[in-house]
Structure 1
């Protein structure tokens, strides 16, 4: 009995030690330019799972808390943003190099094809591109509302926005409670706040909160933010606005 009890405590201590080690483990790697191989300074690195951020030093190196299967998000002006999943190899062998591609190289070739009109209506109509956006008209309203692709959620979104904005907010916030809880974590990390203060494209916010850009706009629209603010504010201001809106939503929802 004594031996079993001793082994039990050894096992518990071993598990506890391994968990602490995993939580405190830091990943070290280097970011380089994919075209030149040169190291890149001041690249923003964000652990999307743990909501922690850092930047690379003058040698392109960085260190960040991480565990296997965490996702790291890399962002640098003029380069294509990139997501990397953390693997065991990164911890075992070290000196992992993350390559970022300049946007000039990342852009895919675009072929511009002007409309070839023949003068015959039946032929020209078939050659015109099809617009997949659908509009929904509601009795009593003088204008139609465009809702993107034709699917049930598109119709629901339009009706919710027009008939009951509170329900739309409840759907947006209520369906993504885990992502919304990240708001406080994001606001507490200085490196992430600095990154968001320099960004205007909503790209990092979308990755952090795992919501669509259109959802961000819908949230702010229904919280009475102006179109001018929504289009010109930096990502940190947008984050603070969403956070404020979310706190108001929780208070109202609690009172119901």
Structure 2
């Protein structure tokens, strides 16, 4: 009798384990809420599992997800939304997601006028020069830090290592899940492709649960220039944050062991 009881228990345990390990997917179609037209290349990221995809020409998509996962939908010119995955969605198939179009707004462009004198040496001094330098440190895997002034570049580099990384630790130290998401983002080719074509930081903010001002501050504290922060795509920002934090961990371990 005991044998049959143990046998049934093992079968039930195996069935539960198999059900937990089995991957589930959601399918759907993304359309323009104004006219029902399908939207191609909508960026979709599962914020819970940190996997992503994009819609086809017909607006169709399929993405790995489980019940209660949160999906983030974003598309240029449309309001981004978050959608919670339900058991019914997984069980019964395709769902239609509607995105609402946004009004386009142009940022003010400031043009600086230079009065030329005709004298080359004088005119050259009027033109601002971008003096961003990057420095690498032996023994660290990074391509280096960016500094705004060549004369005090080394000082800035050392400050960038010991101070901004502490800022990063304060930002993420109490949120280990966000750091795990950061690593997953770097490993997912689909997400990297999406981020390489984005400049709005929206997906990074959604994945890391930080405001844009804090995201910019993290990169600035890592001693990247204003020009880099302004012009970098989202993938470059992701890599900058990741490299800075990884280097902090290397130096933090060295300091604890007394080597620095």
Residues of 1 paired with 2:7 and 2:29: CA distance?
A: 44
Q: CA deviation at 1:31?
A: 0.7
Aligned length: 198
Matched, 1:14 2:19: no
CA distance in 1, matches of 2:9, 2:58: 47
Query: Cα 1:167–1:239, aligned 2, differ >3 Å: closer, same or farther?
Result: closer
1:219 aligns with 2:232: no
The answer to whether the 8 Å contact 1:193/1:236 transfers is yes
Structural mapping, 1:1-256, within 5 Å: 1-21=2-22, 24-104=23-103, 165=164, 167-255=166-254, 256=256
Aligned-partner Cα distance in 2 for 1:166–1:216: 13
Whether contact under 8 Å (1:31, 1:98) holds in the other structure is: yes
Provide the C-alpha distance between the structure 1 equivalents of 2:165 and 2:238, rounded to a whole number of angstroms.
Answer: 20
Distance 1:231 1:28 in 2: 36
Moved >3 Å (runs of 4+): 164-167
| TM, length-normalised to structure 1 | 0.73
Deviation for aligned residue 1:166: 5.3
**For the Cα contact (< 8 Å) 1:173–1:246, is it kept in 2?**
no
Q: Give, in whole Å, the separation in 2 of the partners of 1:12 and 1:206.
A: 39
Task: Measure how far apart 1:63 and its partner are.
Answer: 0.5
- Return 5+ residue gaps in structure 2 as ranges: 106-159
The Cα shift of 1:71 comes to: 0.5
| RMSD over aligned Cα atoms | 1.9
Equivalent-residue separation in structure 2 for 1:249 and 1:174 (angstroms): 12
Question: Which residue in 1 is equivalent to 2:119?
Answer: none
1:212 Cα deviation from its structure 2 partner: 2.1
> Does the CA-based 8 Å contact 2:178-2:209 persist in structure 1?
yes
Structure 1 unmatched runs, 5+: 108-160
CA–CA separation in structure 1 for the residues paired with 2:100 and 2:165: 42
Contact residue 32 and residue 100 of structure 1 kept, 8 A: yes
